[in-house]
Amino acid sequence: MLVATALVCAAVAAVPPAAWADPQPTRRSLEDVHREVESLYRKAEAATDAYNAADEQAKLQQKNVSDLTERVAAAEKRRQELTDRIGELARSQYRTGGLAPSARLLLAPSPDDFLASLDLTRRGQDATRRLLTETETVKAELDRYAKAADERWKQLKAERKKKEDAKKEIETRLDAARRLESRLADEERARLRKLEEEQARRAQRQWLASDAVKGLPLKDSAGSVTEAGRRAVEFATAQIGKDYVWGAVGPDTYDCSGLTSRAWATAGHPIPRTSQEQWRQLPKVEVKDMRPGDLIIYFSDASHVAMYIGDGTMVHAPRPGRQVTLAGAGSMPILGVVRPG
C-alpha cells in the first residue's frame, strides 16, 4: 500500500497545474489549418488555370470545327455540281447515238465540217479533262476537310474532358477548404485572417529589403507608365471589391488572370487568358524594372498573376472567398514579371 500510495503521489506531482499549461498547441493548430487551407486554395487556383486553358482550347477547336464544317459543305456542293455536269455530258453523248467525239469527227460529211468539228472536239475534250481534274481535286479536298474535322472533334472532346476534370478538382479543393474553415469559431476565423495578413506583411517587408528590388522606384513610379498601361491599371483598380470567382472574366466577378486579361483587353492590347500563358508568351522584364501595368507572376507553376500599380503595390483577385484588392507586390513568392505592352 505504501508503494502504491507513493506511485500515485509521484504521478500527480508530475502533472503540471492548469495555470502552467502551454498555450502554443492551439496556435500551432491554427497555423496548421492556415497552411492546409492555403495549400487547398493554391491547388484550386492551379486547377483553375488548367480549366481556363482547356476552356480556351475548347472554344478554339469549336471554331475550327465550325469553319471546317462550312468548308465541307461548300466542297460537297461543288462536288455535286461537277457530278451533275459530268452526268449531263454522258446524257448528251447518249442523245447523239453514243458515238465518241472522235468517231463523229471521222463521219463528218465535208472537209469544212471536219475542221469545224475538229476544233469543237478539241475544246470539248479540254473542257472534259478540266472537269474531271477539278472533280478529283474537289473530292480530295473534301476528304481532307472531313479528316481534319474529325481530328478537331477528337481534340474538342479531349479539351472538354480536361475542362471537366479540372472543374471537379477545383470543386473538390474548394469544398475541402470551406469545410476546414467552417469548423472554426468566429474568433478563430478572425485570427486566421490576421495570420494571413501578418504573413503577407512579413513577406512584403522581406521583399522590399531584398536585392531583387534594388533600383525599383518606390516613389512616384507612375511617371514611367505608358498610356495603355495607365488604362489597364485604371480598369483593374476600378474592380476593387468585386468577388473572386474561378473562370470569371467580369464584369461582376473575376479570377486572377481574368482580371489582368480583361484589363489589358480594355486598354486595347489583348493578352493570353491564363497566367501560365501570360508568363510563357509575354516579354519578361526584371523586377527592378517594373512599371505600372506590368504583370507579376507568382509561384513556381505560374498559377497566380497580379498587376503592378507602382510604389511596391499590386492589384489582384486573390482567391475564392476574397475580393479584388490591393496588396504588397512581394507578399507572395514571385516567379517573374512580364510586360504586355
pLDDT at 64: 81
Highest mean pLDDT among 24-33, 49-58, 79-88: 49-58
187 is a domain residue: no
Identify the domain boundary among 180, 205, 238: 180
Q: Are residues 108 and 164 in the same domain?
A: yes
pLDDT of 269 > 70? The answer is: yes
What residues contact residue 131 under an 8 Å CB cut-off, 6+ apart?
82, 85, 86, 89
Cell numbers for 192, please give them: 486566421
User: Span 210-238, mean pLDDT?
Assistant: 84
Q: Tell me how many domains the chain contains.
A: 2
The answer to whether residue 333 scores a pLDDT higher than 50 is yes
Residue 200 lies in a domain: no
Annotated active-site residue 304? The verdict is yes
The span from the CA of 210 to the CA of 88, in Å, is 83
Q: Please report whether residue 208 resides in a domain.
A: no
What is the C-alpha to C-alpha distance for residues 21 and 8, in angstroms, rounded to an integer? 21
Specify whether the CB–CB gap between 82 and 135 falls below 8 A: yes
Q: Is 34 a catalytic residue?
A: no
Do the Cβ atoms of 307 and 296 come closer than 8 Å?
yes
163-198 pLDDT per residue, tens: 899 889 989 998 998 888 888 888 888 888 888 889
Q: What residues pair up with 244 in beta bridges, in sequence order?
A: 254
* Per-residue pLDDT, 4: 44
* CATH number reported for the structural domain that contains residue 86 in this entry: 1.10.287
* pLDDT > 70? residue 152: yes
Look up 256 and say whether it is catalytic.
Answer: yes
What single letter denotes the amino acid at residue 265?
A
How confident is the model over 73-83, as pLDDT tens digits?
A: 777 787 777 77
Q: What is the pLDDT, as a whole number, of residue 120?
A: 53
276, 231: one domain: yes
Residue ending a domain, among 161, 180, 199, is 180
pTM, 2 dp: 0.67
> Per-residue DSSP letters for 245-297?
-TT-BSSS-B-HHHHHHHHHHHTT----SSHHHHHHHSPEE-GGG--TT-EEE
Q: Residues 293-303: what's their mean pLDDT? A: 95
- Its domain, for residue 294, covers 215-338
- 63 and 139 inside one domain: yes
Max avg pLDDT among 11-15, 53-57, 334-338: 334-338
Residue 123: inside a domain: yes
8-state DSSP, 319: S
Q: Is residue 225 part of a domain?
A: yes
Please pick, among 9, 34, 269, 316, the residue that the annotation labels catalytic: 316
